[in-house]
Amino acid sequence: MTDPQFNRIALIGIGLIGSSIARDVKELGLANDVVISSRSAETLKRAEGLQLGTHYVSSAAEAVKDADLVIVSVPVGSSGAVAEQIAPNLKPGAILTDVGSTKASVIAQMAPFVPDGVHFIPGHPLAGTEKSGPDAGFAGLFRDRWCIFTPLPDTDAEALEKLKAFWIALGSRVDDMDPQHHDKVLAIVSHLPHIIAYNIVGTADDLETVTESEVIKYSASGFRDFTRLAASDPTMWRDICLHNKDAILEMLARFSEDLAYLQRAIRWGEGDKLFELFTRTRDVRRSIIQAGQDVDAPDFGRHALDPKK
């Protein structure tokens, strides 16, 4: 337990990320009060059953009253609507942040509604699983994971340091990026892999009628790993595609060019080109492990990460 960093934290949205934050805040004693808000009565009731906060309200506007830190954890397409709802009740000096996977769009949606005196600092913790809902969260999700901030030009330095200290207390490593640069980086390291996974699993599902369920029956580890990504929350990923469109389309174009190169190498039996590519990509995997971003295990360390498994 540490001394509370904030008197009152408001969590708008209590899915995987929000509920994991709530668990860490409670376990570490980072706030005296945690107000949880969800539009879904069922989700809010479940959050209360899990004792994730100290107060539970359906209204986001009600939740942020007197909050020193407000964390918006909703699909990125809903960011603007939430900002508009909560703006009148944000108190001067409060820190407002989010956890969305796209930043330029979130800033464009939320910034026009942020009152003077409120510190809006967009953020993005690079952590998660394919599961969603308040039951999906767990303490320690953010440990040794990056949390990226995309401060605005007039961001208050003291408020930024206070928010960074909060995420560091959750175990995160922190960094700053320009919003557009963030969106391009995430398009290749997160968004494109998910889109490819959705596409491959969709293709396999179409093949099921041809193969008489053999795709599922004989799934090897490669296909299983794609299905983990493709099981992610559809609403979240629909919004990511729509709100990081330019960067994703750029990365898809590059991927299509590289795929065409690979296709030609296979067609013409160019073994040297194939071997060179496969060697280079294996080195990328090793670099990720050496950087501490994963472990060298068949299940990618997911079981080790999630204590419930």
Question: Are residues 226 and 154 part of one domain?
Answer: no
Residue 125 sits in the same domain as residue 244: no
> Mean pLDDT throughout 183-188?
95
Nearest to 98 by CA among 18, 175, 31: 18
Whether the pLDDT of residue 33 is over 50: the answer is yes
Q: Are residues 147 and 32 in the same domain?
A: yes
Interval 16-26: pLDDT, tens = 999 999 999 99
Q: What's the CA gap between 167 and 95, in Å, rounded?
A: 13
C-alpha 56/C-alpha 167 separation (Å) is 23
Range of the domain at 167: 6-177
Q: In this predicted model, what pLDDT tens digit does every residue of 282-301 receive, in sequence order?
A: 888 888 777 777 766 655 54
Report d(CA 243, CA 236) in Å as an integer.
10
Instruction: Look at strands 6-12 and 69-72 and give their pairing.
Output: parallel
Evaluate whether residue 1 is within a structural domain: no
**End position of a domain, from candidates 126, 144, 177:** 177
Residue 284 and residue 193 in one domain: yes
Co-location of 60 and 204 in the same domain: no
* Predicted model pTM: 0.88
Q: Across residues 119-127, what is the average pLDDT? A: 96
Out of 177, 204, 227, a domain closes at: 177
CA separation for the pair 8, 30 (Å, rounded): 9
The proportion of the chain whose per-residue pLDDT surpasses 70, expressed as a percent, equals: 91
- Render 189-231 in DSSP notation, one character per residue: IIIHHHHHHHHHHHHHHHHHHHHTTHHHHT--HHHHHHHHHHT
Task: Give the span between the Cα atoms of 268 and 295, in whole angstroms.
Answer: 36
Q: Is residue 29 part of a domain?
A: yes
Q: Are 36 and 56 in contact (CB under 8 A)?
A: yes
Residues 290 and 189 in one domain: yes
* CATH code at position 118: 3.40.50.720
Q: What is residue 11's three-state secondary structure?
A: strand
Q: Do 170 and 151 share a domain, yes or no?
A: yes
* Cβ contact 134:56 at 8 Å: no
Q: Is residue 140 part of a domain?
A: yes
What are the structure tokens assigned to 36, written together? 């949880």
Model pLDDT, residue 13: 96
Average pLDDT, integer, range 263-277: 95
Work out the average pLDDT over 130-147: 91
Say yes or no to pLDDT of 204 above 90: no
Q: What is the CATH number of the domain that holds 237?
A: 1.10.3660.10
pLDDT value of position 307: 46
Please report whether residue 83 resides in a domain.
yes
Shared-domain flag, residues 140 and 190: no
- Residues 12 and 139 occupy one common structural domain: yes
Q: What is the pLDDT of residues 211-258, one digit of tens each?
A: 656 777 777 777 888 888 888 889 999 999 999 999 999 999 999 999
Higher pLDDT among residues 294 and 75, named by residue? 75
Query: What pLDDT was estimated at residue 79?
Result: 97
Q: State whether 137 and 285 are in the same domain.
A: no
Distance between CA atoms of residues 25 and 30, nearest Å: 5
Whether residue 217 sits in one domain with residue 155:
no
- Same domain for 57 and 186, yes or no, is no
Tally of domains in the chain = 2
Indicate the residue among 177, 193, 226 that finishes a domain: 177
Distance (Å, rounded) from C-alpha 83 to C-alpha 96? 9
